Every structure is written in structure tokens, then in C-alpha cells.
Amino acid sequence: MSGTEVDYLITGDYVVTMEPGLEPLVNGAVAVTGEKITEIGTYEALSRKYKPGRILGGKGRAVIPGLINTHTHAAMVYFRGLADDLPLKEWLEGYIWPAEGKWLSDEFVSDAITLACLEMMLNGITMYNDMYFFKDSIAKTTRDMGMRVVLGAGILDFPTASANNADEYLSKAENFIKDWLSSDSLITPAVSPHAPYTCSPETLLKAKRLSERYGVLLHTHLSETQHEVDDITKLYGKPPVEHLNSLGILDNTVVAAHCVWVSDKEIDILSESGVSVSHCVESNLKLASGIAPVVPMLKKGVNVTFGTDGAASNNDLDIFTEMSIAARLHKAVNNDPTVLTARDALKMATISGAKALGKSETLGSIKSGKLADLVILNLDKPHLTPFYDIYSLIVYSMRASDVDTVMINGKITVENKTCLMKDESEIIERARWWKDRIALETKN
């Protein structure tokens, strides 16, 4: 083969670019050199033009941009199933916060993140937006697993294993931002005040100043439960979105997780301020927090994306199920089968997710010059045969287990369903070792 050398030519029956206005390429190909996409086109054209080091994909495959999880606490995979079938307040205060108080350490978080990255990559997620503690361990482990993260240093008004008070969280957050701001292309630091019910207005404003000073994202929980709305309204005279808006916190550098209980007026505020919403449908359903008004938000132009939330309230890290459930649920809720189409759902999971995380210039769609975060899907399955529309297939029929190969930043991290970064059985064995210790202590 002659032509210009590239590292990879990734081919498929379909290349679903998620570029606005561009239909999926039939018998398409993506040329990749180094970290970036060199060109997209038909296999016929690109195979004549380029001499690839390797060809990936092929017949019976489809290529999509990597899926983006815009709200999680990835290290909570070790608390998966620790306490289920409880209301949010009881679940958090009775089980999750005590377990975190007892177990969180650099070692715990690092081991848990290894498992979370493995799970997410095998499920086709290439970037996640995290809010947690022991963030240096999260950053290092995520980098070692070859995965991309926007990582918000968690901030609260009360003590945890990570810090004693708001000022200590804030100063640790600032140090974290300084250390990671431009040190690794896979890691982007952010600020994460937990929620308006765990952070005073003063703490929220300090977090906002920090985000402005360093030009980083502010990631928070917002209007998750009716209980939160009642409490915040009682305290500040207005519901959570209005409360944050009156403090001057809301703009297009904010990712707000949940936004379940928002009024029409608050939807207008979210739209006008440019806040991105992370819709965590599975977590909201499981905790019976409610159903976010996603269709009204989309109609008003709010950038709505998907988050899994932590695996303790989900109980997995899988954007395929988020897409599938959301696309079905909101049709039923709105009594209208034409809303939240399959194409809308995949957009929320890719390019809208990249926009939320301030990365739409470099990620979220397949375009020459963008970073090569790509997923190859295996279409050769009975439950995927036949199909007439690739978006419908991905959202309504596909499972995360149909992910075959994952590339992040031009590097293959999963190939033929096998993680190339670390031995999978070792990661699972380690998770079971921690579980035995946690289960024993929880019983006592």
C-alpha cells in the first residue's frame, strides 16, 4: 500500500460522526495519527490515500465518538450495592457518608478508580466528569489507565477524611488545580462544591472565584430532590437554581447534575445562563428522586447530557442504559413518542457532553483535527440484526457489551473486549478483597 503514513485506519459499515448536519458515513473510515484524527471519509478513498500502521474495525462494525459521562463519583464503584432501596437522605447519611468516612484513603480510591476506569472503558466511555476526594490518586490512576477525566475537587462545609472545613477543601482544591492544570492532556482539573444544601453561599462563592481564577469548570449537584428544594427555599427564600443564580454562580462553565425539580422560570435561567445539565436518569429513578423535565429543557435550548452518578446509586457506569432508559421514559412522561429521539440521545452522550465539559472544540465528534477518542461497536449480533437506522440501533437495541474496541487520545485501551492497560482479573480480585473488608466492618 502506498500513500501518506498514518498510525491507524479505523473502518466500519458506518462511521457515526455526530458532526451537526453530517449523516453517518457508509463504509466509512477514520485515519488517526498520534493523538488526533487526520481525516474521515469512505474506506475506499482513505485506503487509497493513506498507508496505515494498523487497520482496525472492518465489516460488521460501526465507529462512534467515545461516550461521555458528565456526572459521577467513580470511586464509589466499591460501594456498589452496599445499600439499596432507600431514600436519598437516609442512603447518604445512614450508609454512604459513614462508609466514606471509614474507608476513603489514597489506596482505596486508587484501587476503586482502576475498577471504575476498566468498567467505563469496556462500556465505551472515554471521558468522565468526576466529583470526589483524594483527587491526586484519581488523576494518577485515570492517567495510568489511559482514560480522560475532568476532575473536580470536592468541597463541603463539614469535615470528611479529606479535609476539616470549607477553607481546607478550597485550599486543597487550589493546589490540585495548580498541579494538574497543564501537566497531562488526559487530566483536566475542576472545582466541585457538592451542592447548595452542603455548601453555604460563602463557600459556593469562594468555589466560583476559584473556578474563575483558573478558568476551570464548576461541577455541582443541583435540585436533585423535592426535599432539597423545600430546604433551600426555607433557608434562602428561593429554590436552588434561583438561589445559585442570585449568587452569580451560573454561567456556561457550570455543569449541574440532576436538575430534577426545576420550575419553568428556573429552566429559563439554565438556558439563558448557558449551564449544562447532567441528566442522571437511572440514579434519579432508583432513589425515587423524580424525573427531570428533560424535554422542556431541550426545547428551551439547555445543553442536557448524561451522567451515571456513582455506582452506589445506579448501580453501574453505563451510558448505553442511560440513553435507552431516557429515550423511552421521556416519551412516556410527555405522552409523545416523537420527543427525545435516538439521535437526540446519542448527541447528549457525545457532542453535548463534550460541550458541557468545555471540550467541544477537541472532542465529542469525529472530525479531522479533533482528538481520537473513538469506539468500535460490533454489529454482528442477533439482537442487532437487522437494522434500518444506526441511531435507533445504538440507542434502542445496543448494549454496552457490544463495545469491541476503544481508543482514547489515539491509543488503544480496549481491543476485542479486552483491556490492554491492566490485567482485568487482578482488578476484579482486588475489588473483591476490598469488598470482604467493607462487608465485614458493615456487619459489625
| Nearer to Zn ion (CB atom), residue 228 or residue 309 | 309
| Nearer to Zn ion (CB atom), residue 289 or residue 365 | 289
| Nearer to Zn ion (CB atom), residue 45 or residue 86 | 86
Q: How far apart, in whole angstroms, are the C-alpha atoms of residue 11 and residue 288?
A: 42
- Minimal CB distance residue for Zn ion: 309
| Nearer to Zn ion (CB atom), residue 50 or residue 132 | 132
Per-residue contact flags (x/-) with Zn ion for residues 293 to 312, judged by CB under 5 A: ----------------x---
Residues 309-338 binding Zn ion (CB under 5 A) are 309
At closest approach, how far in Å is the CB of 192 from Zn ion? Answer: 10
Cis preceding-peptide flag for 315 (omega within 30 of 0): yes
The backbone region for 369, taken as left when phi is positive above 0, alpha when psi lies in -120 to 50, beta otherwise, is left
| Nearer to Zn ion (CB atom), residue 5 or residue 93 | 93
At closest approach, how far in Å is the CB of 195 from Zn ion? Answer: 9
At closest approach, how far in Å is the CB of 193 from Zn ion? Answer: 12
- Residues 6 or more apart in contact with residue 331 via CB below 8 angstroms: 337, 338, 339, 340
| Nearer to Zn ion (CB atom), residue 11 or residue 284 | 284
At closest approach, how far in Å is the CB of 75 from Zn ion? Answer: 12
How far are the Cα atoms of 13, 81, 129, 133, 178 from residue 427, in angstroms, in the given order? 34, 18, 22, 21, 31
Grid coordinates standing for 37?
Answer: 484524527
| Nearer to Zn ion (CB atom), residue 18 or residue 153 | 153
Q: What is the signed CA dihedral for 379, 380, 386, 389, rounded to 10 degrees?
A: 10
| Nearer to Zn ion (CB atom), residue 266 or residue 309 | 309
| Nearer to Zn ion (CB atom), residue 226 or residue 385 | 226
Q: What order do you get walking across the sheet with 187-193 strand by strand?
A: 67-72, 125-132, 148-155, 187-193, 218-222, 254-258, 276-279, 303-306
Cis preceding-peptide flag for 386 (omega within 30 of 0): yes
At closest approach, how far in Å is the CB of 83 from Zn ion? Answer: 15
Q: How far apart, in whole angstroms, are the C-alpha atoms of residue 48 and residue 46?
A: 5
At closest approach, how far in Å is the CB of 223 from Zn ion? Answer: 13
At closest approach, how far in Å is the CB of 72 from Zn ion? Answer: 7
| Nearer to Zn ion (CB atom), residue 13 or residue 309 | 309
Q: How far apart, in whole angstroms, are the C-alpha atoms of residue 73 and residue 315?
A: 12
At closest approach, how far in Å is the CB of 108 from Zn ion? Answer: 18
How many residues lie near Zn ion (CB under 5 A)? 1
Residues lying near Zn ion in the complex (CB under 5 A) are found at 309
